Structure 1
C-alpha cells in the first residue's frame, strides 16, 4: 500500500498525493458503515487497482486535529483573514473564528487585509483592539504587496488553513504568495457589500517554500453553543489572564464586584470591543442553555 495525503475531495472521489504521484481514490465502504468520512489533510494508506490505476483508501491514520467548518484534518494553524474595507470587518465574527481556533488548540494568526484602503490612524486603531489578545497580527495588501514576506514566514513548513468571510481576499493573498496557484478571486457585491463565494471546496495546496495551505469556502456564522458559561473566558486569552485577580472563582466578569478583568478593562489592558463581544457571547450561551 502507498502512504499519502488527501489534497482534495469532490463528489465521493478523493485525490491523494503520494511519493509516486497523485491518485484518484474512492473510500472503502467500511468507512461509510462506521460513519467515517475522509477529510482533506488526512494521512491515508491506499491500494491501487492495476487495471485503471484507481486508488482505494484502505486506512485513515489517526488525526492530530479536526476542524468541522471547514472540514479539514491535521492543520497546525489558522490564518484568519478579514478585510479592513470592502467588506468592512465584522469583529464579532472574527472573535468567533478565534474561539474555534482556541477550542481546537490551534495557533491563530490574524491577517488584516486590504490595508491600502485605510489611513494609518485607522489601521492602528483596529490593530490596538487585538494587540493585548496574544495573537500574532499581520497587515497585508496584495496591491502593494505589503506583509507578504511576513506571511510566508508564518506559513513555512506548516499546514495552515485560511479562514474568513467571502470577499476578504483569501484567494488573492494565496495567489500573491504563489502565483501558480491561479485561484479564482471574486468581487464585492454592490448590493450587499459582501463577497461572492469563489472557493467551492476545501483543497490542500503545496507551497514551493515548504508547507501546505487550505483555501476554503467563506462563512457567515459560527456556532459556539458547545461552550458552557464558565468556560467562555478560556477562549479569550487576555480575559483568562486577568481572571486570576478576581475575588470569586466563578466570576463571569459582568456584574460581580472586585473583578480583575473589569479592572484590566479600565486600565486599557483589555480592549472594550473584545470585552463587549465576550459579554454578547455570554448572553448568547445563557439564552441557548435556557431553551
Structure 2
C-alpha cells in the first residue's frame, strides 16, 4: 500500500529530487502536475512524498514556502551565514552592508564570519576587527575564527532550520563548509532507491545535515541587486537606524535633512559609524537611479 511521508528537498540531481525524510534520504521524481501548474520544487522546500509498492518515490505536494532566495534558489531559509573575506578579495564594509540589507529585506537573520584573517598583518586585521565590533554592537553575531564557528554553529541551528552560506566569490565558503562538515564534498547522502544515474557536475544547491537542521551550500548570492527595494523602506533594513527611528521628530524620517533626527544626532556623537551612513546614502542613490553600480555587475 502506498505511503505518504513529509520531508525536505536537500538536492536536485538531473531531474531527480533527494528528500530528507524521517527514514533517511529518498530519491524522487516530481509528478507532472507541477509542470502543468508551472511549479518547480526547490532545495529547502517542505514536501510530501508518495512511496509506492514497488519502492519508487514520487514528490506529490509542495507545502507553503516562507521565502525563496538566490539563483539557484533556496526555499524556507531561516538564517544566513555570511562569509566575508579579510583579503583576496579585500574586506569591504560597503559589500558587507549590501548583503546585510538584502537579507534584512528578505526577512532573514544573518551571522557574519570573517575568512582568510590569517593572511593579513596584525595592524590591518585589527582595523577590520574594530569595524566588525561595531556590527556586534548593533546586534549581529560575528565569528572571527572557524574553530569557534565550527564548535558553535551546530548548536545554533534549530530543529529543521535551514541556514545557508552566502558571500562574494572567492571568500572561502567551500573551504569553510568542508571544515565544518567533513563529508560535505560528497555529491549526495545515502540513497534509499536504485535510481542514481551518476554524478551530477553542475553547480547546484545542496543541504547538509548539521545540528538539528541543515546548512546549504549555494553559489547563488554572488551579486546583490538592491533596486527592487522601496526607497522609503531602505532605512528600516539598517538595524541601528530602525532602533533609533522612534526618537526622530517625524514619522517616516529618512535621516537625511530632517530636523531632530535621532540617527543624525547619534552619528554626530560617534555612536553610529560614518561608513554605515555613507553606505546608506550610496544605496539610496542606487535605488533612485534603478541600477546596480557597474563594478558589482
TM-score range, shorter chain: 0.7 to 0.9
Choose the corresponding residue for 2:65, options 63, 82, 90. Answer: 63
CA distance in 2 between counterparts of 1:262 and 1:133 reads 16
| 1:161 corresponding residue in structure 2 | 164
Q: Is the 8 A contact 1:130 1:271 kept in 2?
A: no
Counterpart contact for 1:112–1:138, Cα < 8 Å: yes
Q: Secondary structure at the match of 1:78?
A: strand
Match of 1:279 in 2: 281
Task: Tell me the TM-score normalised to structure 2 length.
Answer: 0.82
Matches within 5 A, 1:78-227: 78-118=80-120, 119=122, 120-141=125-146, 145-155=147-157, 157=159, 158-182=161-185, 200-207=203-210, 209-217=211-219, 219-227=221-229
Would you say 1:7 and 2:10 are equivalent positions?
A: yes
Cα distance per residue 1:55-79 (max 9 Å; x no partner): 2211111223332445112222111
- Partner in structure 2 of residue 195 of structure 1: none
Shift in alpha-carbon separation, 1:100–1:126, aligned structure 2, 3 A? same
Is residue 114–residue 140 contact of structure 1 (8 Å, CA) maintained in 2? Answer: no
- How big is the shift at 1:156? 5.5
Q: 2:259 aligns with which of 257, 260, 263?
A: 257
On the 8 A contact 1:82/1:111 being kept in 2, the answer is yes
Instruction: Tell me the TM-score normalized by structure 1.
Output: 0.83
Relative to 1, partners in 2 of residues 1:280 and 1:273: Cα closer, same or farther, differing over 3 Å? same
Q: CA deviation at 1:221?
A: 1.7
Q: Deviations over 1:250-288 (max 9, x none)?
A: 432123333211111122221111111111111111222
Q: Is the 8 A contact 2:70 2:221 kept in 1?
A: no
1:133 and 1:11 map into 2 onto residues whose CA distance is: 43
Q: Which runs of 4+ in 1 moved over 4 A?
A: none
Paired with 1:70 and 1:239, the residues of 2 have a C-alpha distance of 32
User: Contact 1:205 / 1:212 at 8 angstroms: preserved in 2?
Assistant: yes
Q: 1:15 to 1:28 in 2, by over 3 A?
A: same
- Give distance in 1, aligned partners of 2:81 and 2:45: 19
1:184-209 CA-partner distances (Å, limit 9, x unpaired): 9xxxxxxxxxxxxx9811111112x4
SS in structure 1 at match of 2:247: coil
What is the distance in 2 between the residues matched to 1:286 and 1:249? 21
Structure possessing the higher relative contact order (Cα contacts under 8 Å, 6 or more residues apart) = 2
Check 1:13–1:178 CA distance in 2 against 1; reply closer, same or farther (3 A cut).
Answer: same
2:295 alignment partner in structure 1: none
Tell me, in whole angstroms, the C-alpha distance in 1 between the residues paired with 2:63 and 2:158.
24
1:19 aligns with 2:18: no
Look up the match of 1:191: none
RMSD: 2.5
Report the secondary structure of 1:180's partner residue. Answer: coil
Secondary structure of the 2:137 match is coil
| Structure 1 unaligned spans of 5+ | 185-197
What residue ranges of structure 2 are gaps of 5+ in the alignment? 188-200, 292-297
